[in-house]
């Protein structure tokens, strides 16, 4: 029969190594984080116009901005849209995003529904000459957008 005395030094050694790692590991990690330079922030990318369009969402470079109080929110097989209570310049009541990018459509829809339910304003960043006709956004009263935020 093997004696437990033979294993005691080994068990103590492993237990000490684990405790050392638990105590010293976070200290070394914190020191390393202070010594390494912070990474520069990367621009946020969004694909609102579908997978083929990627737009840099620089906060100070919109083509046009419109603050919309949502009147209604709609979901269709090819788009999600919001109808504003007051038209933007040019008689634009609707702002829409395609459902071809389902993750983006879900994020957009979440923001639209939140704003509608809470009575908050939605700010759209869009290009006035852009068309979303490929997914049912009519040029006479609807625009695709490349940025959206809920205000107040």
* pTM, full prediction: 0.60
Residue 79 has pLDDT above 70, yes or no: yes
As for how many domains the chain has, the answer is: 2
Cβ atoms of residues 117 and 69 within 8 Å = no
- Check whether 77 has a pLDDT greater than 90: yes
Digit-coded pLDDT (tens) for 27-57: 555 555 555 555 444 444 444 444 433 344 4
CATH number of the CATH domain containing 96: 2.40.50
50 and 36 both lie in a single domain: no
Percent of the chain predicted with pLDDT > 90: 57
My answer on whether 17 and 88 are in the same domain is no
Print burial letters for 2-14: b (CB count within 10 Å at least 16), e (below 16). Answer: eeeeeeeeeeeee
**By residue range, what is the domain housing residue 21?**
1-40
């Amino acid at each position: 029969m093997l004696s437990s005395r033979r294993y005691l030094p080994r068990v103590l050694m492993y237990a000490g190594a684990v405790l050392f790692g638990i105590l010293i590991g976070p200290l070394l990690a914190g020191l390393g984080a202070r010594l390494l330079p912070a990474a520069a922030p990367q621009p946020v990318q969004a694909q609102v116009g579908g997978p083929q369009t990627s737009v840099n969402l620089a906060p100070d470079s919109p083509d046009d901005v419109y603050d919309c109080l949502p009147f209604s929110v709609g979901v269709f097989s090819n788009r999600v849209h919001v109808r504003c209570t007051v038209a933007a310049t040019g008689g634009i009541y609707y702002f829409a995003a395609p459902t071809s990018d389902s993750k983006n459509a879900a994020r957009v829809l979440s923001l639209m529904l939140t704003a509608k339910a809470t009575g908050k304003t939605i700010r759209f960043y869009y290009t006035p000459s852009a068309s979303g006709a490929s997914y049912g956004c009519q040029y006479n009263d609807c625009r695709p957008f490349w940025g959206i935020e809920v205000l107040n």
